[in-house]
Amino acid sequence: MVLLKLRTPSRAEFCSRALAFRGFGMAPSQDPLYAGLGQAVRIGTELLAALIVGGGLGWAVDAYLLESDPWGLVVGVVFGLAAGIRSVYRSVQRWQVAVDNSNNRE
C-alpha cells in the first residue's frame, strides 16, 4: 500500500496561487481598444444598474407605501439616473487619473 504525503500550502502561497488562477496575476492588456471597451462596458453597466435600482425603489414606493401611481416610479428613475451619472463621472475621473499617471511614468 502506497501512502501519499500531501503538503499543505501556506496561506500566502495559497492566496498567490488562487489570484494567479483567477487571472489577477496577468498583466493588463496594452491594446487601447480592449481597455476602452472594458471601460465602456463598465460605464454602461453602472448606469443601467442605477436606473434599475432607482426605478425599482420608485415602483416599490408607489405600490406599497404611497399609492401615487406613476410619480414614485418617475422620481425613482430620475434619482437613479442622477446616481448613475454621478457614478459614471467618478469612474471616468479615476480612469483619467490612472491614464495621466501612466503617461507621466513613460
- What are the cell numbers at 18? 488562487
- Cα separation, 55 vs 74, in Å, equals 7
C-alpha 99 chain-centroid distance: 18
Return the pLDDT at 16: 73
Q: Could you tell me the pLDDT band of residue 86, with boundaries at 50, 70 and 90?
A: very high
Return the pLDDT at 105: 65
Q: Could you tell me the pLDDT band of residue 34, with boundaries at 50, 70 and 90?
A: confident
Of 60, 100, 53, nearest in space to 79 by CA:
53
Q: Could you report the per-residue pLDDT of 8-33, keeping only the tens digit for each?
A: 767 777 777 776 665 555 566 667 67
Sequence letter at residue 86: R
Q: Enter the pTM of the model.
A: 0.61
Q: What percent of the chain has pLDDT over 70?
A: 70
The secondary structure of residue 25, as a DSSP letter, is T
Judge whether residue 3 has pLDDT over 90: no
Instruction: Tell which phi-psi region holds residue 67, choosing left (phi > 0), alpha (psi between -120 and 50) or beta.
Output: left
- Cα separation, 54 vs 32, in Å, equals 33
